[in-house]
């Protein structure tokens, strides 16, 4: 069965007809030629397909496109400003070599953007709860929150990097979270 779908992808309204069984990932990649989200496992285990859906991080391989008619989808490609200036996370990943092969990088960056927003909004993690309202849970007046390496690793644990660039990924996210 087909469904007329409208999404706002990286700031641009896109309308198309999709089969109701089509995932958001397949819609983005195969129908809209948005190749930033990657198909790593197609089972929600690697995080390579992570996008921001109405500001929240979502594994696009696990959600049907039709469930998000009218939604705002932001990929790593859509995080940069309109004039082409890189998002602070994109810049930090470059500065800290937070990638090797780069396959997981778009998902890592989207997940990090969503994770930082979650942390700033006060959403706890297992590390936050263990810290007993320690410094990892204190947001700044501008909505920023400085996160420990343990907190970053816990909050990013759904994103895998087969190359093992985790140390640099954590360093990049730490830099942005501290600003």
- Do residues 51 and 35 make contact, with C-beta atoms less than 8 angstroms apart? no
- Do residues 96 and 168 make contact, with C-beta atoms less than 8 angstroms apart? yes
pLDDT in tens, 56-69: 999 999 999 999 99
Q: What's the rounded mean pLDDT across residues 3-10? A: 98
Q: How high is the pLDDT of residue 136?
A: 44
Q: Inform me whether the pLDDT recorded for 43 exceeds 70.
A: yes
Q: How high is the pLDDT of residue 145?
A: 76
For the chain, which residues make up each domain, given as ranges? 2-78, 88-177
- Environment class of 135 (CB within 10 Å of its CB; exposed 0-12, middle 13-18, buried 19+): exposed
Tokens for 7?
């999404």
Q: Which fold has domain 88-177?
A: DNA polymerase; domain 1 (1.10.150)
Tokens for 77?
């490609």
pLDDT in tens, 93-132: 999 999 999 999 999 999 999 999 999 999 999 988 665 5
Rounded (5°) CA angle 136-166-173: 45
Q: How high is the pLDDT of residue 133?
A: 52
Measure the CA–CA gap between 120 and 99, rounded to whole angstroms: 25
pLDDT in tens, 138-149: 455 555 678 999
- Prediction pTM value: 0.90
Indicate the CATH number of 2-78 among 3.30.450.20, 3.30.300.30, 3.30.750.24, 3.10.20.30: 3.10.20.30
């Amino acid at each position: 069965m087909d469904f007329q779908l409208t999404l706002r992808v990286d700031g641009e309204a896109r309308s198309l007809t999709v089969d109701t069984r089509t995932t958001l990932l397949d819609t983005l990649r195969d129908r809209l030629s948005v190749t930033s989200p990657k198909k790593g496992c197609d089972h929600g285990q690697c995080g390579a397909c992570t996008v921001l859906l109405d500001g929240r991080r979502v594994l696009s391989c696990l959600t049907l496109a039709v469930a998000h008619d009218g939604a705002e989808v932001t990929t790593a490609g859509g995080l940069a400003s309109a004039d082409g200036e890189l998002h602070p996370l994109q810049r930090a990943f470059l500065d800290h070599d937070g990638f090797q092969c780069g396959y997981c990088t778009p998902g890592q960056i989207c997940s990090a953007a969503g994770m930082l927003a979650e942390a700033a909004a006060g959403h706890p993690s297992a590390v936050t709860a263990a810290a007993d309202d320690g410094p990892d849970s204190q947001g700044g007046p501008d909505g920023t929150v400085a996160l420990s390496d343990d907190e970053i690793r816990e909050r990013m644990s759904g994103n895998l990097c087969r190359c093992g660039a985790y140390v640099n990924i954590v360093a990049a996210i730490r830099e942005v979270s501290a600003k």
